[in-house]
Structure formats: structure tokens, C-alpha cells
Amino acid sequence: MIRKLLFYLTLSLLTACGRNTPDPEPAEPPAPPPPPPPAIEIGDATPLDVARALNHAMADTVEKVLPSVVVIRTEATQYFVDWYGRLLREAQRPVGQGSGVIIDPEGYVLTNFHVLHGGQRIEVILEDGTAYPATLVGKNEPTDIAVLKIETDEDITFPAIEPGDSDKIRVGEMVMAIGSPFSLSSTVTHGVVSHKGRSETFLPIVDFIQTSAAINPGNSGGPLIDIEGRLIGLNTLIRTAGGMSQGNIGIGFAVPSNTAMRAAELIIGGTEGVEFSWLGVVMRDTREGVLLTRIVKDSPADEAGLQAGDLVRRVNRKAVRSGQEISSIVRLGRPGDILTLEILRDNEPVTVSVTTTLMPQTEIHFR
């Protein structure tokens, strides 16, 4: 009996020891993120220090903006018919791909209208690869602007880009273009503002920002940003070498953000987005001011008595040095605004008040 008790006691002790496994080694804490580059004093900085600081600043800007940039894919239904005219089947056919940028936490996306051309279904793909269906809220064809709305039942706050003031961007400033050229998503290129106030026959009423940042097919609708990551333009079209060449040659054009956001505001507000004001003049820049070279018949300028040869020096007491500045003042206002123009006519100062109207959708005629 005693032997049995000793046997079971020994067995229970051995079994208990088997259960007493040593505690696992505590997990090592995650490595802390690398410290930000130290601030540098310009007076003591070497050229390499300055280059490193600029390099970090541009990378930080891209990291901030990338979540706001999306890929836009469109599809249409294609029908297959046999020799007897009978419908055999239908399939979804990819139509195009472009870029866009989120401008509102509720999921409104700004893009070019031509990106959506021919598409019946729209899909928006975020930077992390998540795809959502989207609907067209509205379009403004004279500026090639469209607004989409991401459709989801989830309670999501989308990362919206910070809008910038395209009127304040200066020629020579560094900018970056982000988009999906040739289906390569999240592509970043950089360059400078090459010029402002460019006119292109594709969109004659837009004063484009010209940039050397590489823009290629698929970049359309993506953002042009400043060094702070603010939206200052919407990449829209490029010049190519002609013929079969479709690649970038360093001449790209972006719709200024002030124009694009104004169109988006109208579209989201429920209008057709065509309520842009106009003056009805053709202008040429001079060293002394902006010369009016032609006046549109029955336009606001014509009704106010403006004449070809008038030299505009100020608008609403603000000195103007280019026709692009006047165009921005007019277009970013609302139809019915009263503009006070201080002009020189036959070397005599004259003040003229002009009431803007809606831009006409019909053919125009000059005086």
C-alpha cells in the first residue's frame, strides 16, 4: 500500500513539473522611428546639408499627399453579335484609366472630364489598393473638370488634399506632379512652374500653368502640388514631339487650382458648373499694363464702353500686370459682380465700371 502511494506521488510530481514550462522571453519593443533630420543653420550649412534638407522636405511632402491621389478606371459594356444579328453575350470592356485627387473628406474626387470619356462604370482605387465604385456628380466641359463621389456604406473619412492658391504660385517655383502614367500608380515627378497664363486651343478659356514636371498619358486629373503639398493645379495635357510620340518632352499644362476648385464648388453645389463670369475682351500684356486689343460685341465690356486700345492699369484698386490676373479676377468672381477698371485712354486716366455676366455658350462676334 505504501509503495503504491509513493508511486502515485512520484508520478504526480513528474507530471506537474512537465506543466511548468518556462515563461516566454519578453518581446523586444519595436524600434523607434528614425529621428527627423536636424534643423540646419543656413550660415553654417554646406551645399550637401542644404541638398539633404531639401531631399527630406520633398519626400515628406509626397508622403503627406499620396493618400489623397487616386487611380480612376472606367469600363463600358461591349456586345458580341453573331452573323445573324443575334446577341451572343456581353462583357465589360476597359475604356480608360487616369488619375484624380480627393478634395473633400466625404469622398469627392476632382479629375478631368476627358478621363471619363466613354465610360459607363467608374472605379476609384486608393493609394493602399482599396477600390470603390464612384458616380459622376457633374462636369464642366469648358474647363475639362469633373467631380466624382466615392460610394461606400462604411463610415470613412477620406484623406483630402489641402488646396493652394494658384494665383500666388510664381514662375520658377518647384512643383511635383503625381498620378498614374501608363498605369504606373503613385508616380511622382518634379520640375518647376515654367510659365503662367498659357492658352491652348483644347480649352481656350483656361489660363494654364505650364510645368516641366513630367506628365504622360494617365497623369490627367492628378494633382500638381507645391513644395508644401498644396494643390495648385490639375494636370490636363501635354505637348509631344508629334507623330507616334506620346511621351513627355518637358511641356505640360495644368488647370489652375483656383479655376478647378471653383468649378468643383459649383458642381457639388448642384449647378452645371458653367456659371463662370466673363468680360468679353482679348488682351495683350505690356510693360505699362494690359492692352485691350479686341472687344466682343454685346459683351459686358462692350456695354460698359470699353474700347480696343484701352490700357488697363488696375482692377478694383489692385494693380494688374497681365491678362491672366484679370482673367482670374473675373472667373473667380460671380456673374453680376461689378468691377472697377482704371484705364488709360489716349493717355488720359479713365475709370469704367463693368458688370460681369455668365459666359455665353454660343458663338461670339467681335467689334
Provide the annotated active-site residues: 114, 144, 220
The amino acid occupying position 310 is: D
Asked if residue 320 lies in contact with residue 314, where contact means CB atoms within 8 angstroms, the answer is yes
The residues, any chain, with a CB within 8 Å of residue 70's CB and separated by 6 or more, are 99, 100, 101, 102, 109, 124, 125, 126, 127
* CA–CA separation, 108 and 126 (whole Å): 13
Q: Which amino acid is at 366?
A: F
In angstroms and rounded to an integer, the radius of gyration of the C-alpha atoms of the chain is: 30
Instruction: List the Cα angle 159/113/90 in 5-degree steps.
Output: 100
Spatial contact of 180 and 97, defined as CB atoms under 8 Å apart: yes
Amino acid identity at 324: Q
* Cell digits of residue 350: 479713365
Determine the number of helices (DSSP H) and then strands (DSSP E) in the chain. 5, 21
Contact predicate 231/161, CB 8 Å? yes
Spatial CB neighbours of 191, under 8 Å, sequence gap ≥ 6: 174, 175, 176, 177, 211, 212, 213, 214, 250
Contact between 162 and 230 under an 8 Å Cβ cutoff? The reply is yes
β-bridge mates for residue 231, sequence order: 163, 225
Q: Determine the Cα angle at 366 with ends 364 and 367, to 5°.
A: 145
Q: Are 178 and 214 within 8 A, CB to CB?
A: no
| Helix (H) or strand (E) run with residue 101 in it | strand 87-104
Beta pairing partners, 256: 233
56 φ, ψ (degrees, to nearest 5): -65, -40
Among candidates 121, 123, 124, 148, which has minimal Cα distance to 264?
148
